[in-house]
Amino acid sequence: MLQISIEQIDAVLPQTQCTRCGYPSCRDYAAAIIKDEAQINQCPPGGDEGIIKLAALLNKSVVPLNTQHGEIKHRQIAIIEEEKCIGCTLCIKACPVDAIVGTNKMMHTVISDHCTGCDLCVPACPVDCIIMVNAENDTWSKEQADLSRARFQNRGQRKQAEIAAREFRLKQQAELLTK
Q: What does the pLDDT profile of the chain (179 residues) look like in tens digits?
A: 468 999 999 999 999 999 999 999 999 999 999 999 999 999 999 999 999 999 999 999 999 999 999 999 999 999 999 899 999 999 999 999 999 999 888 889 999 999 999 999 999 999 999 999 999 887 888 999 999 999 999 999 999 999 999 999 999 888 888 87
Among 159, 61, 77, CA closest to 114: 77
Considering its fold, how many domains does the chain have in total? Answer: 2
Q: Let me know whether 65 and 86 are in one domain.
A: no
- Domain span at residue 31 reads 6-69
In a domain, 119, yes or no: yes
- Let me know the angle formed at the C-alpha of 97 by 62 and 17, rounded to the nearest 5 degrees: 25
Burial 116-134 (b: 16+ CB within 10 A, else e): bbbbbbeebbeeebbebee
Can you give the pLDDT at residue 1? 45
Residue by residue, DSSP assigns 68-125 as GG------EEEEE-TTT-----HHHHH-TT--EE--TTS--EE-TTT-----THHHH-
Is there a domain that residue 123 lies in?
yes
Phi, psi angles (nearest 5°) of residue 96: -75, -10
Contact 101, 155 (CB under 8 A): no
| Residue 130, domain member (yes or no) | yes
Give pLDDT, residue 2.
60
Which CATH number covers residue 60?
1.10.15.40
CATH code at 84?
A: 3.30.70.20
Any domain includes 160: no
